[in-house]
Structures are given as C-alpha cells and as structure tokens.
Structure 1
Amino acid sequence: MESLIAAVREQDEAARFLADAGDFDLDRGDHVEDVHLASGDALEGFAGDGAGGTYFFCGEGGEERPVLYADSEGGAALVAIGLHELLQLLLVVPWWRDCQAFTEEESRNLSAEYLEDVPDLAVRRDRAAVVLGLELPDQAVVLARLREVAVGVGANFVLIFTPEGHPYDQLISG
C-alpha cells in the first residue's frame, strides 16, 4: 500500500486543497520550539500550518501512529489516530481548530464562512478524497471522533516545552 504522504505529494490538486482549505503543508514539519512528549515516546513533525502549528506522529511506526497537533501559542491536542483519520478530519472539517463545542450547528456556521471564501469547497474536497482513496464520513462522525481522540486517548499525550519543562495547554477539553 502506498503511503498517504506520498499520495498527497503526488496529487497536486489534493495537496493544494489540503494546503488552502485545511492549512496543512507537508513542507512545514519543523516546530518553532524544542518539545517532547511527557511519556518519552518518539515525536516526529511531518507537516505544519501557516500560523506555525505542527503535526507530529507520536511513537514508533508509520502513518498509523497517533497524530498530535501543536500550535505556536503553547496549545496541543491529539487530533487523530493515524494519517488516514487526520486527512478525513482536514477534508471534512477543515475548520476543526475553531470547533470548540463539537456540534453540527457550530460546524455548519463555520462551514458557511469557509464557503464564502472557497465556494467550490465541496467539489474540491470530493476530488481530493477520490484521488487519495479516502471515504469521507459526515461532519458529526468526524467531530465526535476528534473529541473522542482528543479528550480520551489524548490525555496520555502531553507535549512538553523542553527548555522549561512546562506542558502545553490542552487545545481541546472535555
């Protein structure tokens, strides 16, 4: 099976959509600060966003590893178990960082804002999903999974600012 990272890199249209709508860029894997996981597990930055946030794979293995997102303001959250799940999140709910209540109503309102800027969002999203071989669940399923991962399993993934030994704030709370 081909890696999803390789597929994103090879599929220009999908990569552009993820970079534009999802603010996800595989060329921005370096975090702005020295960080580590409290557990001591491996941490590998592999992508980032335009505001200095970074996506990290946690632990050993491949693209199936848990994915932690850390912003540049000292907040972090486990957002997916594996790259497949992360890409579903970014394709279905690219405004996930602004979803604090995890409700469909909140997501619909944020979606309306996105659609003002990217009116062909759904068409581009669907094309990206097809070329990447991803099935897209509906928003409610994706938001419920984000919350489940962040506040459930995510409690075990504490990001530490290494120079001072202080943990990052939880971006997503129960």
Structure 2
Amino acid sequence: MESLIAAVREQDEAARFLAWPGDFDLDRGDHVEDVHLASGAALEGFAGDGAGGTYFFCGDGGEERPVLYADSEGGAAVVAIGLPELLRLLLVAPWWRGCQAFTAEEGRELAAEYLQDMPDLGARRDRAAAALGLGLPDQAKVLTRLREVAVQAGEDFVLVTTPEGYPYEPLVRN
C-alpha cells in the first residue's frame, strides 16, 4: 500500500487543500524548539503549519502511529490516531484549532466563517478526499473523535521541552 504522505505529495489538489485551508505543510516538520516525549517514546516531526506548529508521529511504526500537534506557544495534544484520521480532520474541520468546546454549534459557526471566504470549500474538500481515497465522516464525528483522542491518548503522550524539562500545556482539556 502506498503511503498517504506520498499520495499527498503526488496529488496536487489534495496538497493544495491541505496547505490551505488545512494549514498543513509536509515541508515544515522541524519544530521551533527541542522537544521529547516524557515517556521516552520516539517522536518524529513530519509536517507543520504556518504559525510554527508541528505534527509529530509518536512511537515506533509507520503512518498508523498517534499524531501529536504542538503549537509554537507551548501547547500540545494528540489529535489523531494515524495519518488517515489526521487527514480526515484537516479535510472536514480545517478550523479545528479554533475549537474550544467541540460542540456541533461551534463547528457550524467556524465552518460558516470559512465558507464565507471559500464558497467552494465543500467541493474542493471532496475532490481532495477522493484523490487520497479517503471517505469523510461528518463534522460532528470528527470533532468528537478529536476531543476523545486528545483527552484519552494525551495522558500517554506528554510533550516536554528538552533543555528546560517543562511539559507543554494540553490544547484540549477534559
């Protein structure tokens, strides 16, 4: 099976959507500071966003590993279990970083803001998902899953600044 990272690199439409509005760039895998997981498990930066945030694979393995997102302000959360789940999140709810309550109403409000600027958002998202061979759940399921993963798996994946030894703050709280 071809890797999804390779598929994103090969599929221009998907890469463009993930770059914006997804704010996901496979060429930005270096984080702003040295970090490690408190558990000592492996940590591999593989993508980032325009604000200095980084997506990391946690542990050993391939694209099925948990994905931790760390922003440049000292916050972090496990946002997906595996790259397919992360890409579904970015395709369905590219505004996820703006979520506080993870409610359907909040999701609709954030989506409406994006749709004002990009009326073709749904069509672009659907073409990107098809190019990557990903089926898309609805927004409520994606946001519920994000909260669930961040709260449950987050306890096992605490990100720490290497020089100072300070843990990052959870981006998603129970």
Q: TM-score range by the shorter chain?
A: over 0.9
Aligned ranges for residues 19-98 of structure 1 at < 5 Å? Answer: 19-98=19-98
Runs of 4+ in 1 over 2 A off after TM superposition: none
Letter of the 2:40 counterpart = G
TM-score (norm. length: structure 1) = 0.99
Per-residue CA deviations over 1:86-105 (Å, capped at 9, x if unaligned) read 00000001000111101110
Give 5+ residue unaligned stretches, structure 1.
none
**DSSP-derived class of the 1:62 partner:** coil
- CA–CA distance in structure 2, aligned partners of residues 150 and 132 of structure 1: 25
Q: Which residue of 2 aligns with 1:172?
A: 172
Equivalent residue letter for 1:94: P
Matched ranges for 1:139-158 at <5 A = 139-158=139-158
Give runs of aligned pairs for residues 4-23 of structure 1, distance below 5 A: 4-23=4-23
Tell me the distance in 2 between the aligned counterparts of 1:53 and 1:41. Answer: 20
Task: Quote the offset at 1:139 in angstroms.
Answer: 0.8
Shift of 1:155: 1.3
Following TM superposition, by how much is the alpha carbon of 1:138 offset from its aligned partner in structure 2, in angstroms? 0.4
SS at the partner of 2:57?
strand
Cα deviation for residue 119 of structure 1 reads 1.3
Mapped to 2, the partners of 1:54 and 1:116 lie a distance apart of 27
Provide the identity percentage.
80
| TM-superposed deviation, 1:54 | 0.1
RMSD after superposition: 0.5
State the alpha-carbon separation in 2 of the partners of residues 55 and 163 from structure 1: 20
| AA aligned opposite 1:130 | A
Structure 2 unpaired stretches of 5+: none
Deviations, residues 7-54 of structure 1 (Å, cap 9, x unaligned):
000001100000011100000000010000000000000000000000
Alpha-carbon distance between aligned partners in 2 of 1:74 and 1:25, rounded to the nearest angstrom: 20
What code does the residue aligned with 1:123 have?
A: A
